A and B are shown apart, each in its own frame.
Chain A
């Protein structure tokens, strides 16, 4: 297995050859919202340590894909496995599996009635039943890592968007997840705050965290991703290394999409 500490993906690599064993596997996944076929026969395998960026036009099903992986959205057919385990339907098994899949939302969704520190500690204490002292230490280390340790006793509403999103990342990391899902983590942020969040994500990728990231930040994709997955109309149309995808898109849909986001 290749070492993870090298600067990642600056040169084209074969996506199929990237890193470890399959960690998140989607097979023939279908989902409808009423008549709308949002996910159409999705097959996707993400390996341990891999960073996958999902890109595509609005409404193509990127968020839905992300949300099915921890079953915030149930699927109609197909299977999704996380480290070999099929996602349970409901109940305690599902809750346990979810706790191993970190999720970061576009709108942060920090618990509004809890302080920053409590936000990070709540999951490990209530879900994992860990000791408060142990969790506090880990939570403070994580808050330090994302650069908001000095805000620990404030409430979410008192922080800037960028700070809140970094806390949300720390909250997810506190559960020591196997994989992290990001659904447009920077698109609700003012431009000057985008980089502070992307920097945290880049360093996370550098540490070997398995990540699935819905984003249109091409700089991040080039810097941190092993693979770009392009979605349109509920299908995975194309996937490739960031370099290949951005410089030499194969499908017409991707060419069209890239020309639009590059020219504005």
Chain B
């Protein structure tokens, strides 16, 4: 009897998910979009901050260190609040975004997630720089390379192998962190979960499993991509 009931529930859950699969996929797509854009931006920003922190100009070093220190020690939720609430108050509202069909909440979430993640990316890249013997950079400078060339042509390529594993963890953490965007009205996987649970609490397990699987697939994909990259790098050396 109980068995049959739970069996019915499971069937009901699957049916429910099938019925709602578009909403689920929309949520998944939202998480993918958010993570992908924030991933790219945080990498660029992280590279810049890491370069600032090893630059010969003291002001840049201080600015880079301050950036890292600030975002590393601020809870992500506060960073989200800062962008979604404070930015509009000081007049940054991305009014143009609506015109081209972009959700401003999404833009704020991208900014929050990428600035927050950038300081961890910067830390990983900087410790990668430090893993390269100083003689390599000195030889590059002695040949007449500028600071940028030294980083780009000599230090970064050699740091890459050390940097990839911590970067992978960071992007995985970022995908999971993107769930906070839900509180700021961004359509993504966790928002799908909350909305579904609110409307159909009877399918809690099915909803939970579907969303968890969604996150797991995304993070496994990131792991796989990084493993592949690591193996490629190992071969070319």
Which A residues fall within an 8 A CB radius of B? 70, 72, 90-92, 95-103, 105, 107, 109-113, 122-123, 126-128, 155, 168, 171-172, 175
Contacts and interface: CB of A to CB of B under 8 A. Distances in A.
Interface residues of B, number: 20
Nearest to A174: B143
Interface of B: 56-57, 133, 135-136, 138-146, 149, 153-154, 157-158, 237
B136 A98 contact: no
A123 B237 contact: no
Given A111-B154, A126-B153, A105 B135 contact: yes
A72 B142 contact: yes
Contacts of A99: 143-144
Contacts of A122: 143, 153
17 contacts: A72-B138, A72-B141, A90-B56, A98-B141, A98-B142, A99-B144, A105-B135, A105-B142, A109-B136, A112-B136, A113-B154, A113-B157, A123-B143, A126-B153, A127-B149, A128-B144, A175-B143
Given A99-B144, A103-B142, 18 more contacts: A72-B141, A90-B56, A98-B141, A98-B142, A98-B143, A98-B144, A105-B139, A109-B136, A111-B139, A111-B140, A111-B154, A113-B158, A123-B145, A126-B145, A126-B153, A127-B144, A172-B142, A172-B143
A158 to B, nearest CB: 11
Contacts of A113: 154, 157-158, 237
Nearest to B150: A95
Interface residues of B, dominant DSSP: helix
B135 A109 contact: yes
Nearest to B145: A127
B136 A123 contact: no
A105 B142 CA distance: 10
B237 A96 contact: no
A92 B237 CA distance: 31
A45 to B, nearest CB: 22
A119 to B, nearest CB: 9
Which 7 A/B pairs are nearest by Cβ-Cβ distance? A99-B144, A109-B139, A109-B135, A123-B143, A103-B142, A127-B144, A98-B144
Nearest to A106: B135
B144 A123 contact: yes
A107 B138 CA distance: 11
A123 B145 CA distance: 7
Nearest to B160: A113
Given A109-B139, A126-B149, A175 B56 contact: no
A109 B138 contact: yes
Nearest to B57: A90
A129 to B, nearest CB: 11
B183 to A, nearest CB: 44
A70 B142 contact: yes
Given A72-B141, A113-B158, A122-B143, A107 B149 contact: no
A72 B145 CA distance: 12
Contacts of A105: 135, 138-139, 142
